[in-house]
Structure 1
């Protein structure tokens, strides 16, 4: 048996499936505690905060006015509202309309923060991990800035459009929970899987990684979308999610190259 084959057999088996996902989250948690990554939290947070302030200032009055007009046709809401007023309680519309307005505007600022993290923070994350955890992993990406920026724009735009179009479904239980999970899973996965691999993986390697690890990548996005349901997590998720996808993608790329995998479909 040749030395190379013997070394391959003696090499510890790479984590796969759920273990690979768990390892990515574990490594991301450790990396997040580094001072450089803690400092990186401020950029997407400040952008998202400014975006929320601007959106609320510019659209609060017209949006709540439009929602009040639409609420006039909501028969069930009107019946409940009249019943509550008749027994001397409160108007449900007084609280429902502002809650709907916030549910529309805040996620739009959140996706803006994720776009900023994908375009500007992910390169910082990749350089940090490259020096500390993935030394020797060469960069073979092409047109990374252009491809990553375009991907972040179209995913963010589709998220915003889809969020607004599906808002009426929030009145149907359990859609108020399922829809945010669906749209944020889409945003995390389709945006960050590209930016995490675009600088180091060649186009052929990216296609192979996404085909082989499609389920794990969507599982990571799903887990992050569940965490996103808790507002305190919004402070760290843009950077933490970038770290999780970067750790998973770079480790998968390292294992792919270590085993000299040749896929005839990519030739």
Structure 2
């Protein structure tokens, strides 16, 4: 690879990072607007209600099933017996409830994210369209249907992936890597669609997803890391929607500005 190509790729990477940082800065400013502060309530209330329902109906059967399954884990029982024998604590007493919470609470979280993607994102786009991106025409089609379908399949895949990869949490450092990966997957696959489907045409969406794939995944990775801090759970659905909306609307505007109309020569 020539020095010119390396310099070009370095310049593009720096430009991509600059655009990601710009999206986060703009999202922070937009989040402080009273309308966006009110928008925080819907996904938060839905997530809390979902958590209460899941814990109410599934906590006892899930912990019972996990406790029964734990009896067949040879190494687990050996360590648990050793800890009890030396007078420390029973590993099973805290690990089983922790695993149950690790299964149920993320399901409530993905429900809140889905609500934000389908119902809050249109409010976010309408708000930003008036204040930050006036004149950006809407060229999307079937936005509601596409948004709902995308939220359903991404949410379902997230739940299945989360559940079936949980045994890998016992292998360091998977207990940290897997949650970040699955939340990044859900955020990126859900919000990049909803942030574009109202304004971008299908051709524009495909082009922008290819062009900005790395930046979109970087945004998702940063948000997934922040999502590990419980204090931020209240604002994450709406703030994530704002970051993706700013990045994607700006990308649509820049793409359309690239179009050059050739004037006929006289």
**C-alpha separation between the residues in 2 aligned to 1:202 and 1:87?**
66
**C-alpha separation between the residues in 2 aligned to 1:208 and 1:261?**
17
**Paired residues for 1:75-224 under 5 Å:** 75-224=74-223
Q: Where do 5+ consecutive residues of structure 2 fail to align?
A: 1-13, 262-266
**C-alpha separation between the residues in 2 aligned to 1:182 and 1:95?**
25
Question: Offset of 1:261 from its aligned partner?
Answer: 6.7
Q: Alpha-carbon deviations, 1:85-144, whole Å to 9, x = none?
A: 111222111011100000000000000000000000000000000000000000000000
TM-score (norm 1): 0.91
**C-alpha separation between the residues in 1 aligned to 2:242 and 2:152?**
20
Partner of 1:237: 236
Question: Offset of 1:16 from its aligned partner?
Answer: 2.8
Q: Where do 5+ consecutive residues of structure 1 fail to align?
A: 1-14, 263-267
Partner of 1:3: none
Partner of 1:56: 55
Partner of 2:39: 40
Provide the alpha-carbon RMSD of the alignment: 1.1
Tell me which stretches of 4 or more aligned residues in structure 1 moved more than 6 Å.
Answer: none
**C-alpha separation between the residues in 1 aligned to 2:88 and 2:208?**
58
Number of residues paired by the alignment?
248
TM-score (norm 2): 0.91
Q: Alpha-carbon deviations, 1:151-185, whole Å to 9, x = none?
A: 01100010001111111111111111010011001
**C-alpha separation between the residues in 2 aligned to 1:17 and 1:256?**
14
**C-alpha separation between the residues in 1 aligned to 2:95 and 2:209?**
41
Partner of 2:68: 69
